[in-house]
Structure 1
Amino acid sequence: MIIERSSEWKEGFTNRLENLEPWQNWTLYNMNYEIVKANLITDFYGLQSPKYLPNLTPLNHQLKVAETVIERMNGKAILADEVGLGKTIEAGLILKEYLVRGLVKKALILTPASLINQWVEELNYKFYIPAIPYKKNTPIEYYDVVVMSMDTAKKSPHKELIYAQDYDMIIIDEAHKLKNHKTKIYEFVQGLKKKFCLLLTATPIQNNVFELFYLISLLKPGHLGNYEAFQSSFSASKHSLEHDDYLRELVNQVMVRNRRQDTGIEWTNRRVQIIPIDFTKEEKEVYEMISELKNMCPVFSDTFSMITLQREMCSSKEATQLTLSKMREKCVELKEIEYMESVMQKLMALEMNSKAEKAYEIISQANDKVIIFTEYRASQAYLQDYLYSKGITSVLFNGKFSKSKREWMKQLFKEKAQVLIATESGSEGINLQFCHHVINYDLPWNPMKLEQRIGRVHRLGQEHDVHIYNIAIRNTIEDSILELLYTKIGVFEKVVGELDDILTAFKKTI
């Protein structure tokens, strides 16, 4: 039999091109359909993608996560590995697998702005996925894989552009930022068409158990019932629930979580401790005067304002003074103004900061690189000045810095400075395995923020034991913070699973 190349297609092609004839043809469609169908990989056991990734050597636990999500969870899952175990790699493997299988063509990755470049770089160079970072006026309809910040995506006109696309896969990094149905980003994500969807977070419960309910409802609406049914079935309140074994079973149908001890990798240890200290007599007097403001000035009757001031007083007089100055303007009665003036005079007369003294003591004993986490930029500036007076070099890191400045600060810390003083923004998007001392100068209300902070140093590549120092001032608001942190840790471990040490090396029963 002689096979010759046909040229008949040329005539049809020319006619359609010149005479604007329709291109649709049912026979051609069926032929194309059969070719695509033949090229699909129908066996969903095992991964095809690793053999196409010469620049990547995935760890066993990362491969197992990808297999589990594809084979058992149909591409809709929460990836909840502990911080530093490579959730980005797992998501990249899953995305690459679906691209290889022909089941995904367009994908959207939503992430905090500080992580955009990291995602683009890893997808391009490790996975050979041509991802682009979204910028203003980027014609996203012409790009198959787009990485965009959450804050940009939820706003007009960007959200309308996204809704007009047909994305096969949505990936959301730091998915705990979605929080609940009342936030704009949650509402935006809820409106997306989600054929496949990955939510990445080491901390699916941040403050209360309902956050996990809302995350799962995004993936599989109704999996935990509606809000009222969930609340009733598990007697759920913010910080307590019942039937946690059954709830964990339901959660595990849509969530994959590895702990460090599950990976087969030899990890360095965490040395965690709470360091209780006392105010000086003068500091205690000012703290009590501040606490009395709620009875002296109506403007301080708001519980949140009072708690904020008490926390700031536990941090630095600089942070406290800023808030007091703003609140003083709202006082109208003479006796209120006079009392405020006396508080501020006593505050600014303080010559010692007990917490800063303890931090300096820890840094001196460590004689190594140290990260200090504070909640307030005013305390950040004070600590830098205080440490400088003691002959210790430091750099700052906070959310007001541009991406390039953040990279510069990180480089300075690695090569020049002994201390990095960071606000909460320093607990995301930077990897600092060359450091292994962390001081939590101010305690957050949320235990998962502690885990995120520690995860900056206790991650793959860390070669030393990591030392964590949690400073807390006795007989202040920080006692209440500690109690609530233990309660929230208990809820997390009931539903999600055990946590590595973040407060102390022992578990406290509330």
Structure 2
Amino acid sequence: MAKKKASGGKKAASKVSYHYKPDNLTLEQWQIALRRQAAEKETFGIREMNAKEYPGYYIVNNPVSQNVYRVVYRGAFSAWNYCSCMDFKTSQLGTCKHIEAVKLWLEKHHKRVCTDIPAYTSVYLSYRRGRKIRLRIGTDNAEEFRKLAAPYFTPEGVMRPEALDYITDFFRDAIRLNDTFRWYDDAMDFILEQRDKRKREQFLSESNADILIDSLLKVRLFPYQKEGVRFAYRAGKSIIADEMGLGKTIQAIGTAELMRKQGIVSTALILCPTSLKYQWKKEIERFTDTQAVVVEGNHLKRKELYKAEPFYKIASYNSVANDIAILHELQTDFLIMDEVQRLKNWNTKIAKAARHIKAEYAVVLSGTPLENKLEELYSVVQFVDQYCLGPYYKFIADTVIKSDTGKVMGYKGLNAVGEKLHDILIRRRKKDVALQLPQRMDKVLFVPMTEQQQAMHDELQSNVAQLVYKWNRQRFLSEKDRKRLLLSLSQMRMVCDSTYILDQKNRNDTKIDETMNILNQVFENGDEKVVIFSQWERMTRLVAAELDKLGVRYEYLHGGVPSEKRKNLMENFTELPESRVFISTDAGSTGLNLQVASILINLDLPWNPAVLEQRIARIYRIGQQRNIQIINLVAPSSIEERMLSTLNFKTSLFEGILDNGEDSIFLDDSKLDKMMESISAIVTEPEDKEKGEGREVVHIEDKEEPAETFAPAEASDEDTEPSEDTEAARLIRQGVSFFSGLVQTLRSPEGIRSLADSLIEEDKETGKATLRIPVPDKESVIGFLSLAGKLLSGFEEKK
């Protein structure tokens, strides 16, 4: 019965596959059929506009996405059909699912298709076979418009290239001829875009352009970096895909500064992985005289920060994805997208959100060779120019070789792809610019800690602060205190790497992920080899485990490896092409010759600069031909950062002590005194933290940043009120200092024990404990007791 019923009705149309082209259809026919199929599935709201004033105009509403599209339909395959959606503009099919939906609506309602030539004349942007400015002459004053248009348009109605600079003269005269003449926004935007590009090219040809580029930043750019700035400036929107270590960041900043100083842009937005936000901030403030603000906090705070005064705003991809879900779009003059290869899939939430950022100019940075993954290349190019590589279906058909099962077997037509990308993508390898590079390049990469790491770090810092406070008050530390001081300092450094070093049951870290990101770039870029150092064997073990997951060959040296086996490890690393990584602790660093490597990653920095140079010496010798790169991973707002900025590696104080755990230095109180002064600098927060800049804490989705936290610090005279140095003011200062220190002390069991040790004296013979409180003099105690008595009396009277 079912078969008869089906045969008696209308024959159902066969479903068109989204993955395979039917043999009976051309490539374009297949794509049009897919869009018609999509239109049949979806429920659109469609209404016709004023047929007299706007013949053939329709409004199409998508009730699911709430998007509204403007459609013009004047018959099948009409050159004047149009839709405001991006698929129509990029597919080169002359149709889209919205136009197909209008066709179905007209058929269903038996409405007449308007194929008449409109009375008015218009200038529009054609998207068929590439974007072109075209003229459509209406029935009113047709002959006069043809004469007027001759100097500006070809007989086929395409704008002449030489007319770009004076096409607005035609617009003026056309309106005078007939006030119904119209031009469309996308056509005008295209004209202005081409004019703007011509102006930028003209500037770069002038002699003062080189002078301005030379003075853009506080540091001198290498010649290839200047070329990168010029390229990105000329393109307007570009991709810098230089090999890792060639300074893509500084080229992007240089381009932004050139556009800012030329008065082209007034704001810049930087999108980057969460772990790199403060790295960008430090680089901007190091290379320029411009301020940068990190967009973080809850959604309302981030919304305000996007409008903040500083030229540069820095936001993570996760934050922007969350914000666009609420705001729907963001606008900026200049957009920088860093590490874009981490976005992977073009259809991810983050990639989709990034497409809702409107920017006049953009620089996209990628550290991997995009030509090795054409599908990924296409996705990245979409951020810069959605028209450059043509429609995706055609790009895949022209470049990807697939088996009968759909598996990618190889690529073709790569030269044609390269020609299309010539004006928007620039990529240099180290070997291409080796003569311009210094033999050794050192980079500090700031990698924020997780919330758990920061909490453990702060607790350990509090312990050290109490011991410093005790030393400052008594000029004495017991042997137990001294050992606890060394242990806390070492553990603070361990936590900067990973909580796993202290507790193998709980692992919280970010340096491992950042290390793997660096290694993945190295692996994809070529055959360079990498040496990785850490003071902690457990940290190197984590790196080894990640390389095991990837199936990458590595050599692993630590203190437990017998000396007779070390030679084999070095030989394997030197001679085997597949051995890409050498992992080592400082215990195994002496006597190594690893000059086959060109990159060294320090997961942590030793106190002693001699130990650091010893690491570097494993791959670097003065006079060698190979350029090497040193990458130091440092946790911001931590003991590691203050080792760099405050201590600056004071060798005389720390050599052989904190690196090796010896405490013989404590036999000399004068050395201990100097050391405690330096440690005090380590555990005291920098001044900018008091100005409201909170610590960066890594969150998985970056939805809301934590409240600002502060380390203990004694109040200074400049920080307190009243301003007059009265007895009351001094009393307030002393009270604030006392209670700040007391609260900090009572936050941890170790602090409480330390306070008790300093206040309680125990008789060794009798075991009797006595409370001992240091006081300035007897009169101060009498005054304090008198004041306390009056306060208590007043309290009793009120009762």
What range is the shorter-chain TM-score in? Answer: 0.3 to 0.5
Q: Quick one: higher RCO (CA 8 Å, sep 6+), 1 or 2?
A: 1
The alignment's TM-score, normalised by the length of structure 1, stands at: 0.47
